[in-house]
Copies of this chain bind each other. A is one copy, B any other.
Amino acid sequence: MNTSRPREDVWIERWTGKLQARRIPGLRQGLGHDCAVLAAPSRELDLVLKTDAVVEGVHFLRTTPASLVGRKALARALSDLAAAGATPRAALVTVGCPDKKSAARLQSVYRGLAQAARRWRVAIVGGETVRTRQLLLSVSLTGTVPRGLSPHRGGARPGHLLFVTGTLGGSWPRRHLTFTPRLKEGQWLARKKLPSAMMDLSDGLGADLPRLARMSRVGFRIDSKKLPLSPGANLRQAVSRGEDYELLFAVPPAKSDRLRKTWPFSTRLTPIGVCLPARSGFQAGDLPLQGYDHLR
């Protein structure tokens, strides 16, 4: 009888052992069981769910340091939670890797994941490793937001002002791997009930703003001179390059003064334009309103 353990079990235990260093209140079962089981959050909270994948050749290169791949996989999903005003709680991580020769790289991926999980206080409570032709990570995040306060993409109205955090266009060559998801800012905005619509900028303002506008059934006008450019970036890059991971949100005019006066963060806050009636269309001068298409 063969009682040797499948290598998958041993690998996963060794590398994920450190992942679950952070136990969260109410965690009943984590890694090693069929499912993760957690106490339900208070009824004062809503549950926020997000899944996001990074794929070699699309979101990172074969030469990208593997620990930064792990970091990016978690940070991208956290950026979406930031846009929902949510506080992250637990994550499940699926890692696809090509073969045994990837062992060292895979270990670095898990190290980057573990560091990012500690930094942003996420408990990695489950996941799996599967064999794929290219390295990829799929992260599922669970978080919470005060009941009814998660902004979405559909609440902007004509006259609402458009803001972005940070600067745009500086994602390459490195910032797309090292950015800080705007969790604090997103949580603050949601709790203050300031945004009528909010999303994170992952595909570039030129692709993402039209999405927000379509969900809200509004048009918009962007003042290209006001766009906050990252050092060294030009306007085209700020609109089309993608992977800024900044927050884009609309604020009713009656609340915009309060927003600007009480904004407690060092993160830059810039008004970039205004929402218009849908019939006014998308007015952005000659800015190319077209972002990165993951399937192109």
Interface residues of A (CB under 8 A from B): 1-9, 11, 28-29, 32-43, 45-53, 55, 57-58, 80-81, 83-84, 86, 90, 92-94, 96-97, 100, 125-134, 136, 138, 140, 142-145, 147-148, 150, 152-154, 199-200, 203, 207, 210-211, 215, 281-282, 284-291, 293-296
| Distance between Cα atoms of A32 and B9 in the complex (Å) | 37
Contacting pair B38 A46 (CB below 8 A): yes
Question: In the complex, which residue of chain B has the Cβ closest to the Cβ of A214?
Answer: B5
Question: In the complex, which residue of chain B has the Cβ closest to the Cβ of A143?
Answer: B35
Q: How many copies does the complex hold?
A: 2
Contacting pair B40 A45 (CB below 8 A): yes
| Distance between Cα atoms of A32 and B284 in the complex (Å) | 24
Question: With A132-B134, A282-B3 as given contacts, are A46 and B37 in contact (CB-CB < 8 Å)?
Answer: yes
Task: Give the dominant DSSP class at A's interface.
Answer: mixed
Contacting pair A35 B3 (CB below 8 A): no
Question: With A1-B287, A3-B281, A40-B144 as given contacts, are A49 and B295 in contact (CB-CB < 8 Å)?
Answer: no
Q: How far is the CB of A148 from chain B (nearest CB, A)?
A: 7
Contacting pair B7 A293 (CB below 8 A): yes
15 A-B pairs within 8 Å (CB atoms) are namely A1-B282, A6-B290, A28-B46, A29-B150, A32-B215, A33-B154, A34-B83, A36-B48, A37-B46, A37-B150, A40-B40, A40-B45, A51-B128, A57-B133, A132-B136
